[in-house]
Amino acid sequence: RDLSFILYDEGPLHGQALKSRLESHYGERIDPKSFYGALDALVEGGHLELQESGIHDEYLLTDAGREMLEAHLAWMRERASDGEGTGDGEPDGENSE
């Protein structure tokens, strides 16, 4: 999802620019094979689109990718607004103690 969030925020990017931003965020090098494998999976899943743009292709978020991110953000906000987490591995209010 992190790749998609970057594209959601910044718009279309070349693969190397996207990889660099992710590496900067995490402060570590990302294996190119793993990175491009993740990009390919997101393209195949319909979340990203690969567009020809000069020498380097650009990746952009599809409508399906945007909807997935917005749904995930809504889920995260809902979980965060529920208050303190119980930390017991059970959904809120279902602690057996």
pLDDT tens sequence for the chain (97 residues):
888 999 999 999 999 999 999 999 999 999 999 999 999 999 999 999 999 878 888 999 999 999 999 999 999 999 888 766 666 656 555 554 5
Question: With a threshold of 0.85, does the pTM exceed it?
Answer: no
pLDDT of residue 40: 94
Range of the domain at 43: 2-81
Q: Is residue 92 part of a domain?
A: no
Q: Is residue 13 part of a domain?
A: yes
Q: Is residue 91 part of a domain?
A: no
Q: Is residue 89 part of a domain?
A: no
Q: Is residue 97 part of a domain?
A: no
Q: Is residue 39 part of a domain?
A: yes
**What is the chain's length?**
97
Q: What CATH code is carried by the domain that includes residue 18? A: 1.10.10.10
